[in-house]
Structure 1
Amino acid sequence: DMVDDEELLELVEMEVRDLLSEYDFPGDDVPVIAGSALKALEGDAQYEEKILELMQAVDDYIPTPERDSDKPFMMPVEDVFSITGRGTVATGRVERGQIKVGEEVEIIGIHETSKTTVTGVEMFRKLLDYAEAGDNIGALLRGVAREDVQRGQVLAAPGSITPHTKFKAEVYVLSKDEGGRHTPFFSNYRPQFYFRTTDVTGVV
């Protein structure tokens, strides 16, 4: 909305495309939409159309991610809160599968595994009958106290996950040039290991 010169806009677009290409992005193919969010908010039809054009480009250019909807349900718990008169809600992003209202789930990790029933599913303040992989939801859990579930645990279909306290892994440590450590590891160094929404302290 501050540039009236069409040639200047074209020059800026060319520079943006060149910069993208310099960093190995497909600069010649990336859609570039020139517009003004401010003017669109002010009701200017020309710029409102640009917003629609931008969203269409997003829909056309960015592929829809594949979702593991056919696998058993699992959702890492990101946060927990209580709703007065309703119960405890666990929030997170469904990693795989589907969950329907009325289905049983297990609360796994950190504490002893327990079982409960999902009595409500909500996403962006809308009540749903079910949620699937990729959805960010709040799951209302029957008979679960706020302190019985916490960030780092997972909600999962009964019998689909077995918790473990030990496993073998091959570790690749980033070099300094790759953005990793500048100094070596020493005995008794205590690194943090991150697993979905939880972190665990280890010892070298």
Structure 2
Amino acid sequence: AILVCSAADGPMPQTREHILLSRQVGVPKIVVFLNKCDMVDDEELLELVEMEVRELLDQYEFPGDDTPVVMGSALKAIEGEEQYVEKIVELVQAMDDYIPAPERDTEKPFILPIEDVFSISGRGTVVTGRIERGVINVGDEVEVVGIRPTQKTTVTGVEMFRKLLDRGEAGDNVGILVRGLKRDDVERGQVLCKPGSIKPHTKFEAEVYVLSKEEGGRHTPFFKGYRPQFYFRTTDITGAVGLPEGVEMVMPGDNVKMTITLINPIAMDEGLRFA
């Protein structure tokens, strides 16, 4: 991830929230870009802001001392000032050098969480999203799972960055053309997957950590029957919380095992993360 922080203002409350969120969702490495350096004349002030950001990274278990920090100005780079254009190049180079290439999980069954659906005149329905795992080829049979009854279809085209492909694999952001489905038959929050590889569920058990107030979470406890929104992949859905026998309430900062009953089925398998 790239953490952008104003050199003129220093780390703000949202800077802390962005670092915390990066830790919670499993971002492995962060590169820092100190923006608006053209507005700061004092070299010592820049060094102070850099030190504050590194200390903040350390607080959330990122290696502050080892994290690359690039100082520049996005505005001046856009305006074409050479010294700031070079800083953008330096930022990209830092990303290449410091952030590891993600491992593509191509061995497991194909699954694509659907982000959007639209129709192309004369061609049919296209679903878009990032392939979470596996490989998809033109001609493969797939299922649309979750929220509604499961539907079968066939892939008739794969497109990425306006280029037609024969296949897509884990990590690719693609548009997939599907046969025999209308625009209204599919919606964001469903998944496209290998037939039989994943099932829809409305009830499941989960290990949950409840964020504290300081972490941007709840200020008050909740009780059995609490009905929040649960976020799965590309959708959110209401669910009712059931607590273990003998547990009456859950406090911010608690770890708890709970049973959740959703109002609509979601495609899920063991180990799926949610928020």
If the TM-score is normalised by the length of the shorter chain, which range does it land in? Answer: 0.7 to 0.9
What TM-score do the two structures reach when normalised by structure 1? Answer: 0.83
Contact 2:40 2:46 (C-alpha < 8 Å) held by counterparts: no
Deviation of 1:46 after TM superposition, in Å, equals: 4.9
Residue 235 of structure 2 is aligned to residue 201 of structure 1? no
In structure 2, the residue matched to 1:18 is 51
Helix, strand or coil at the partner of 2:51: helix
Residue 95 of structure 2 is aligned to residue 62 of structure 1? no
Task: Give the distance between the partners of 1:167 and 1:28, measured in 2 at CA.
Answer: 42
- The count of residues paired between Structure 1 and Structure 2 equals 201
- The one of 197, 219, 227 equivalent to 1:182 is 219
Task: Give the distance between the partners of 1:41 and 1:197, measured in 2 at CA.
Answer: 33
Between Structure 1 and Structure 2, the one with more strand by share is 2
Task: Give the distance between the partners of 2:141 and 2:177, measured in 1 at CA.
Answer: 12
What per-residue deviation string (whole Å, max 9, x for no partner) do you get for residues 108-166 of structure 1?
11222221111111223222222111222111111111111111111001221122232
Helix, strand or coil at the partner of 1:166: strand
Task: Give the distance between the partners of 1:181 and 1:138, measured in 2 at CA.
Answer: 38
Helix, strand or coil at the partner of 2:207: coil
Deviation of 1:202 after TM superposition, in Å, equals: 2.0
Q: Which has the higher contact order (CA 8 A, sep 6+)?
A: 1
Helix, strand or coil at the partner of 1:30: coil
In structure 1, the residue matched to 2:165 is 128
Residue 54 of structure 2 is aligned to residue 52 of structure 1? no
Given the superposition, is the C-alpha separation of residues 105 and 15 from structure 1 closer, same or farther in structure 2, using an over 3 Å criterion? Answer: same
- The one of 112, 124, 127 equivalent to 1:87 is 124
Identity value in percent: 69
Given the superposition, is the C-alpha separation of residues 165 and 12 from structure 1 closer, same or farther in structure 2, using an over 3 Å criterion? Answer: same
Structure 2: runs of 5 or more not aligned: 1-36, 242-275
User: For the aligned residues, what is the CA RMSD?
Assistant: 2.6
- The one of 168, 177, 199 equivalent to 1:162 is 199
Structure 1: runs of 5 or more not aligned: none
Q: Match of 2:195, as an amino acid?
A: P
In structure 2, the residue matched to 1:29 is 66
Helix, strand or coil at the partner of 2:150: strand
In structure 2, the residue matched to 1:112 is 149
Q: Match of 2:230, as an amino acid?
A: F
Higher radius of gyration, 1 or 2: 1
Task: Give the distance between the partners of 1:175 and 1:48, measured in 2 at CA.
Answer: 41
Q: Match of 1:160, as an amino acid?
A: S
Helix, strand or coil at the partner of 2:208: coil
What per-residue deviation string (whole Å, max 9, x for no partner) do you get for residues 41-61 of structure 1?
455555444433321111001
Deviation of 1:98 after TM superposition, in Å, equals: 1.2
